[in-house]
Structure 1
Amino acid sequence: MYTPRAFALDDLPEIQQLIQHTRLAQLVTFGEQGLQASHLPLLLNPDEGAHGTLYGHLAKANPQWRDLQNGSQALVIFAGADAYVSPAFYPAKAEHGKVVPTWNYIAVHAYGEPEVFTDAERLLAVVTALTDRHEGQRTQPWKVSDAPADYIDGMLKAIVGFALPIERLVGKRKLSQNRSEADINGVREGLAASVDVRDQTLARFIPQGVSE
């Protein structure tokens, strides 16, 4: 990921927090069948390894798991908030007009070589942890144990789990840091005033008085 210094995000706890707040990641591999990608919910253990370890699973019918088994390095993309930035947000537009549109966004790329596993106990632990995470905010959360045990056993036979110790992390926070303080404030105010909740979300990541 192209990351100019002004946009680089190097703080490990902040990167890990962004990973944990991303509900759906993209797992990308390259193997005998070329490039493959899957969209997956993942778990992060931030204390396992130098940068943390990711856990997830693929359908056994999905051939991508064979790339993982064969030692393919994987790229996992965590896409955070994003928003279109109009030149109209910049006070510089009225001053000299030398402005163009851009896109602001937050993203993390994680790289590593996954380990594949199929034993039922380990798979059940991953599936249970994922379920508890995403059911946790519901008034009456569903639990894996709510389903018949033999049914869950059958479902576990249809998936392949993986653990991905993160070897390298690249974080990027493109929040107009390369603009003047006035333009940064204009971007934040313009996005905050938008009717699109995605714009409002990104606006909250732009601090007051930031300038590079």
Structure 2
Amino acid sequence: MYIPEAFRVDDPEVLHALIRSHPLGTVITSGSGGLQASPAPFLFDAAEGLHGTLRAHLARANPLIDALRGGAECLVLFHGPQGYVSPSWYPAKQQHHKVVPTWNYAMVQARGRATVIDDAAWLREQIAALTAEHEAHRDAPWSPDDSPAEFIAGMIAGIAGVEIAIEALDGKFNLSQNRGRADRDGVIDALGSPDDPHRHPELAALMQGLTR
């Protein structure tokens, strides 16, 4: 991934926070059938391994599973907030008009080798943990135990687990760091404004935390 120094983010806490807040990663690898890609919601364990460990499950029929079984290197891309940036938001536009539109975004790339897991107990634990992570704030959280055991067993039979020990973790946060303070503030204010058609409060909050 091409990362100009102005947009490079190395702080593990920032990278981990993006993975946890946007856990649907895109897994990319190359097998005998060429390039393969598939989205999957991941659980991230920052304490395990050099840069953490990712765990997910995919449909057993997914061709990506066979590609990962071969031990090929894979990438997992996590995309955070993203949105259009109008040059009209820059105070510099009023000064010299040497401005153009751009796109602000944040993403994390995890690189490693996957292990495919067929063990039913592992899969049940992964499903339970993933569900608990996202049901935790509900008044009546759903659990796999709420469904008939034979139904869950049948669902588990149709999936395979994926565990990726992260060998490298890179962050690219293209958030106007290459602009002057006044221009950055103009973008933050416009993205946070309820009156702008391109408003994006989440992107504005991320910029504010990183660049102000």
User: So what's the TM-score if we normalise by structure 1?
Assistant: 0.95
Counterpart residue identity of residue 148, structure 2:
P
Give, in whole Å, the separation in 2 of the partners of 1:18 and 1:76: 13
Given that residues 20 and 44 in structure 1 are in contact (C-alpha distance below 8 angstroms), is that contact kept between their aligned partners in structure 2? yes
Counterpart residue identity of residue 7, structure 1:
F
C-alpha distance after superposition, 1:65-105 (max 9, x if no partner): 01111011111010001111000000110100000000011
Given that residues 181 and 209 in structure 1 are in contact (C-alpha distance below 8 angstroms), is that contact kept between their aligned partners in structure 2? no
- Equivalence for 1:57: 57
Alignment of 1:75-94 (within 5 A): 75-94=75-94
Give, in whole Å, the separation in 2 of the partners of 1:209 and 1:10: 12
Identity of aligned residues (%): 45
Give, in whole Å, the separation in 2 of the partners of 1:144 and 1:210: 42
Unaligned runs of 5+ in 1: none
Counterpart residue identity of residue 205, structure 1:
L
Give, in whole Å, the separation in 2 of the partners of 1:18 and 1:181: 24
- Equivalence for 2:137: 137
Give, in whole Å, the separation in 1 of the partners of 2:28 and 2:83: 24
Counterpart residue identity of residue 20, structure 2:
Q
Given that residues 190 and 199 in structure 2 are in contact (C-alpha distance below 8 angstroms), is that contact kept between their aligned partners in structure 1? no
Q: 1:20 to 1:198 in 2, by over 3 A?
A: farther
Give, in whole Å, the separation in 1 of the partners of 2:131 and 2:121: 15
Counterpart residue identity of residue 167, structure 1:
E
Give, in whole Å, the separation in 2 of the partners of 1:11 and 1:73: 24
Give, in whole Å, the separation in 2 of the partners of 1:209 and 1:119: 42
Counterpart residue identity of residue 120, structure 1:
A
Given that residues 189 and 203 in structure 1 are in contact (C-alpha distance below 8 angstroms), is that contact kept between their aligned partners in structure 2? yes
Mapped pair 1:199 → 2:200: yes
Give, in whole Å, the separation in 2 of the partners of 1:209 and 1:31: 38
User: So what's the TM-score if we normalise by structure 2?
Assistant: 0.95
Superposed structure 1 runs of 4+ greater than 4 Å apart? 194-198, 208-211
Give, in whole Å, the separation in 1 of the partners of 2:176 and 2:63: 40
Mapped pair 1:127 → 2:123: no
Given that residues 185 and 209 in structure 1 are in contact (C-alpha distance below 8 angstroms), is that contact kept between their aligned partners in structure 2? no
Q: Shift of residue 207 of structure 1?
A: 2.8
Given that residues 68 and 115 in structure 1 are in contact (C-alpha distance below 8 angstroms), is that contact kept between their aligned partners in structure 2? yes
Give, in whole Å, the separation in 1 of the partners of 2:160 and 2:5: 38
Q: 1:21 to 1:91 in 2, by over 3 A?
A: same
Q: In the comparison of the two structures, how many residue pairs are matched? A: 211
Mapped pair 1:24 → 2:24: yes
C-alpha distance after superposition, 1:148-197 (max 9, x if no partner): 11111111111100110000111011110101111111111111115568
C-alpha distance after superposition, 1:110-151 (max 9, x if no partner): 010001111111111101111111222222111001111111
Given that residues 26 and 77 in structure 1 are in contact (C-alpha distance below 8 angstroms), is that contact kept between their aligned partners in structure 2? yes
- Equivalence for 1:48: 48
Given that residues 81 and 198 in structure 1 are in contact (C-alpha distance below 8 angstroms), is that contact kept between their aligned partners in structure 2? no
